[in-house]
Chains A and B, each alone.
Chain A
Amino acid sequence: DVKVTQSSRYLVKRTGEKVFLECVQDMDHENMFWYRQDPGLGLRLIYFSYDVKMKEKGDIPEGYSVSREKKERFSLILESASTNQTSMYLCASSPWTSGSAETQYFGPGTRLLVL
């Protein structure tokens, strides 16, 4: 079974802190993603990566950065956390495919509270 793990299930940080959210997948997937989920807004894509050291902005990249130094690991960084970044953060991975069909596998999520 594909396994996507996230470093923390719950995290409490203060405004202005630098926050690292880590994601690891064990299926040698090329693609990895970071989403945030907020009530009434569904999932929104922050960043994704299709290869080591490669990254692409999603729909809401402002206030975030990412790092992918190894294929299995994709980190989301909040340079200076703000209260509006309080959210559920979800990491996902998927294998590369040449066609349109694709399945993303999600981690359990990290619920971040910024005070």
Chain B
Amino acid sequence: DAKTTQPTSMDCAEGRAANLPCNHSTISGNEYVYWYRQIHSQGPQYIIHGLKNNETNEMASLIITEDRKSSTLILPHATLRDTAVYYCIVRVRTGANNLFFGTGTRLTVIP
């Protein structure tokens, strides 16, 4: 199973871009990279996912390196409501639909 490594915590000034890194050096060719976040006392919220190409949606952008061994989630204009724990997840098993959540990165957006 591919594992992910993320920094334990990060700070970001309000209005600036937040760049959250993730290493997944053992990712295999058919595994996707997912990002979720969890705001305090709430369930995890899906943000974005990708396989090889960079992806963008209304919440964030996902940049995946060419060798797919790492990725970066970008929140272009962080707000106080983006303060949360961000999880980088690599899909573990095809068919079993299991998502392995690690300990994530605690992002604090500072006014």
Q: How far is the CA of A69 from the CA of B108 in the complex (A)?
A: 42
Secondary structure call for the B interface: loop
B21 at the interface (CB under 8 A from A): no
Residues facing A in B59-111 (CB within 8 A) are 87, 91, 94, 96-104
Contact flag A56-B44 (CB < 8 Å), given A42-B102, A42-B103, A100-B30: no
Q: How far is the CA of A106 from the CA of B46 in the complex (A)?
A: 8
Partner among B32, B42, B103 whose Cβ is within 8 Å of the Cβ of A100: B32
24 CB-based A-B contacts, threshold 8 Å:
A33-B97, A35-B101, A40-B103, A42-B87, A43-B101, A45-B99, A58-B98, A94-B97, A100-B30, A100-B51, A100-B91, A101-B32, A102-B97, A103-B34, A104-B99, A105-B46, A106-B43, A106-B45, A107-B43, A108-B42, A109-B41, A109-B42, A109-B43, A111-B41
Task: Enumerate the 5 nearest inter-chain pairs by beta-carbon distance, A residue then B residue, closest first.
Answer: A106-B43, A43-B101, A42-B101, A106-B44, A109-B43
Residues of B bordering A, CB below 8 Å:
30-32, 34, 41-46, 49, 51, 87, 91, 94, 96-104
